[in-house]
């Protein structure tokens, strides 16, 4: 049987370029089984339930305040070095429909540790529902994807290896998750220093949480401690903010 050729769409170009650079990063996953019963209860008590993505994004940024390694990046311009950022930039992956195709886009959030949960929720809701042309990160990604392959790769390489610009365009960590579809990724790839993902959250609030990390920048023991601290922050500071939201209602 004769098949057919299928044009590579702009969103697929974006993914291909992303994976081209992610494949060069020596990443290792570390997982922790977390008990988040209190967090689940506090979230359920809110009239407008905050997305789990929002809760994990803010909590991870709070952890990164205490672990500077999570705010570092391996860059090579003008020579190989670590570049440390004063605050975190979250690169949150969202699924949108573009020209009839399900597509992945990234939204960059500067210093989510300083943003209220409600503000983060509105930010991600806009990224999930606004016209794609109205989101600057989406417009920029599509504009680059339209360029010839050599020029695209050059732009990506420079962006990932100039320390001062990297976080603003790519973030300091990635958050990618599709547990709402009753599935989880075991070893997702990223060109950034860390990627945070989590699985399906059961009725008791238990969930597998995983950090994929660049072994050039930090070690597994540090990541394990960061995961333990993430669980603590989710069950304390994030729970407290959720309870204040429910009381305000």
- CATH numbers and ranges of domains, the chain: 10-248 (3.30.559.10)
What is the greatest pairwise CA distance in the chain?
Answer: 64
Residue 99, CA atoms < 13 Å, CB-side half-sphere = 7
Contacts of 197 by beta carbon, 8 Å cutoff, 6+ apart: 175, 176, 177, 184, 185, 188, 209, 210, 212
**pLDDT tens, position by position, 178-193:** 988 999 999 999 999 9
Rounded Cα gap, residues 20 and 158, in angstroms: 14
The whole-number pLDDT of residue 247 equals 73
- For residues 204 and 17, is the Cβ–Cβ distance under 8 A? no
Does residue 248 surpass a pLDDT of 90? no
Rounded Cα gap, residues 224 and 222, in angstroms: 5
The whole-number pLDDT of residue 158 equals 97
Does residue 39 surpass a pLDDT of 70? yes
Query: pLDDT grade, residue 47 (50/70/90)?
Result: confident
Predicted TM-score (pTM) of this structure = 0.94
Nearest to 84 by CA among 194, 172, 215, 211: 172
Rounded Cα gap, residues 218 and 239, in angstroms: 29
The whole-number pLDDT of residue 246 equals 74
Average pLDDT, the chain: 95
Query: pLDDT grade, residue 249 (50/70/90)?
Result: low
């Amino acid at each position: 049987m004769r098949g057919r050729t299928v044009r590579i769409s702009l969103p697929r170009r974006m993914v291909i370029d992303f994976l081209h650079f992610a494949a060069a990063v020596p990443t290792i996953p570390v997982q922790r089984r977390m008990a988040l019963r209190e967090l689940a209860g506090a979230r359920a008590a809110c009239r407008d339930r905050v997305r789990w993505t929002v809760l994990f994004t803010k909590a991870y940024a709070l952890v990164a305040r205490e672990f500077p390694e999570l705010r570092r990046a391996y860059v090579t311009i003008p020579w190989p070095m670590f570049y440390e950022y004063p605050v975190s930039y979250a690169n949150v992956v969202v699924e949108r429909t573009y020209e009839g195709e399900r597509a992945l886009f990234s939204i960059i959030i500067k210093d989510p540790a300083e943003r209220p949960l409600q503000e983060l929720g509105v930010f991600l809701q806009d990224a999930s529902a606004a016209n794609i042309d109205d989101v600057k990160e989406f417009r920029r990604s599509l504009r680059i994807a339209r360029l010839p392959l050599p020029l695209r790769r050059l732009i990506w390489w420079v962006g990932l290896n100039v320390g001062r610009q990297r976080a603003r365009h790519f973030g300091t960590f990635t958050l990618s998750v599709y547990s709402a579809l009753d599935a989880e990724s075991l070893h997702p790839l990223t060109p950034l220093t860390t990627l945070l993902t989590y699985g399906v959250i059961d009725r008791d609030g238990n969930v597998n949480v995983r950090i994929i990390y660049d072994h050039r920048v930090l070690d597994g023991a540090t990541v394990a401690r960061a995961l333990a601290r993430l669980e603590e922050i989710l069950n304390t500071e994030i729970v407290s903010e959720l309870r204040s939201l429910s009381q305000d209602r």
